[in-house]
Amino acid sequence: MIFAVDPSTVKVGWCVYDEDRDEVVRYGVHRVTGDTFDEKLADIVRSIRYQFEVFDGDVLAVEMPVLHSRIRNVKTVIRLAQVVGVLRYAGLCWASRTVEVLPSERCLAFGLAANTKRNHAKRMLVSLVNARFGLDLSPKEHDAADAIAVAVAADLKLRREAVLDAAS
């Protein structure tokens, strides 16, 4: 099982994905609570740990933040990187493996160009996730769709690594 996370300091998308059956077992969006940043980090870890343990994940996949020209607030990127760091550390404690997934890998796993405009890409990704897995996510649930795409991209990455290891 792959447990995937689309990190944020506001809403964290998550997904449990059975890579052997190519099936989304469960997904959701956690609305982060807390007055201080430390309280928000603790809330994120508590929520993700609970879901991870309930579904007995093997792999923790986390989308990595990327600094690009559309991001105007560097502090936001730094905070997001801190969330990712805490999740990666937690993954080292809970999972047999952690996998980093770039936003471009998440998009490419569903055939989207990595340079698709953000709002259009979110809507398209929700539609593609719904079509592939028979779900009924609304465009407002794009955080969950992102987590599902992170899981699929992580699975592809792990399979690619296994093939390369077997060939060497």
Asked if 37 and 19 count as a contact pair (C-beta separation under 8 A), the reply is: no
Instruction: State residue 114's pLDDT score.
Output: 66
Instruction: State residue 80's pLDDT score.
Output: 87
Closest of 137, 127, 115 to residue 15, by C-alpha: 137
The confidence band for 38, taking pLDDT boundaries of 50, 70 and 90, is very high
Instruction: State residue 115's pLDDT score.
Output: 64
- For 78-147, the DSSP string reads HHHHHHHHHHHHHHHHH-SEEEEE-HHHHHHTTT--TTS-HHHHHHHHHHHHHHHHT----GGGHHHHHH
Q: Taking CA 89 as the corner, what is the angle to CA 85 and CA 94, rounded to the nearest 5 degrees?
A: 140
pLDDT at 35 over 60: yes
CA distance 72 to 69: 7
Phi, psi at 15, each rounded to 5°: -155, 140
Q: What is the dihedral of CA 43, 44, 49, 51, to 10 degrees?
A: 100
115-161 pLDDT tens trace: 666 667 788 999 999 999 999 999 889 999 999 999 999 999 999 99
64-113 pLDDT tens trace: 877 655 566 778 888 888 998 888 888 888 878 889 999 889 888 998 87
pTM of the model: 0.90
13-32 pLDDT tens trace: 999 999 999 999 999 999 99
